[in-house]
A and B are shown apart, each in its own frame.
Chain A
Amino acid sequence: MSTDTLSKLAIDSGVVMWRELRPMLRDPFSLTFSLVQPVFFLALFGPLLAANVEVPGGGSVWQWFVPGILVMTALFGTSMTGSNLLFEMQTGSHERMLVTPLSRSSLLVGRALKEIAPLVAQAALVVVVMIPFGFELHLGGALLGLALLAVFGVGLGALSYALALASRNQDWMFWTVQQTLIFPLLILSGMLLPLQGAPAWMEVLSRLNPLRYVVEAERALFAGIIVDPAVATGALAAAAVAAVGLWVGTRMMRRA
């Protein structure tokens, strides 16, 4: 790719990203509501977890649970985002964008990058809300944790858009695939409940789940542990998801 193509991709992606972000900023109510959801979840699920489960390695249940919730928020938010594209394909606004000189790749990259904004805002809110309840903030690690989450979110968002492009003529397929995949990914990552004591086959499956490494890296980072094999593996897993997602997504968008 020449620098010309790259700079056009960057500019175009910026246009697409800004178009996607604007309605969110224009509609503070929907934004606030989406920010509050993970907090509700945390408030309801956390106490039950604390009462029933012994957190691996001991320590505060929040310290263990909050990073998992952040990844879960990212998982739900970004895996559903393709439905927005699906809707725009049905109404005709995606087609209109395809006739403009915007590069095909930017239509995917810009949308995927936009995922960072709500994701980081939600994560930051969850962390801030949890501090009074005894959640210990290690700023350096937390910032790195958010960055890792952003990379992962871009990748998953891109995959969700790819799924939307693949199911353009049968929209049920999008939801079927998304719903079928999300719970195995969720449970086999040890995000909500520890995987310790799980049967061997689950252990094997969870090793194949990139999400598991992202969750483990987030837990290390939010505990302030930066130099750790778990962080490196998690970063690798997030980068791999992003690379695969963007590659598959831009390929499909170019063929659209």
Chain B
Amino acid sequence: MKKQLIVRLKSGLELTFVPNEVSLDNTFIPVAPLLNENDFPLLLHFTHAALVTTLNLSKMPDCVLLHLIEDYSPKSAAFCLNRSEGDFTVQSQCKRVLFIPFPIPFKPSEIVSIRLSKKSKP
């Protein structure tokens, strides 16, 4: 059974993402190498006890980060649109971050809720 995240928008539409989940206990995470082994959408789960995780987004393809708290409720969003060769990091105070490839067909501000679905898919 694969984990599904259901993103509900203000319009009432629900979008289903079946993420590739990676659990990590580091507080500094180069994300681009993880995408060599895992497709979008990518769900990172931080298992360390620190308050903040630093995500190195250098050389990442364009994507949107949704920062989720323990029950998967969305806390904030960030756009990763690399336009230079310089290093690029962001910090997250959340224990989970969902990476969705850009472009996304909805505004992050339209998200009402995100929930975990237990429904099994063929």
Chain A partners chain B? no
Residues of A within 8 A of B (CB): none
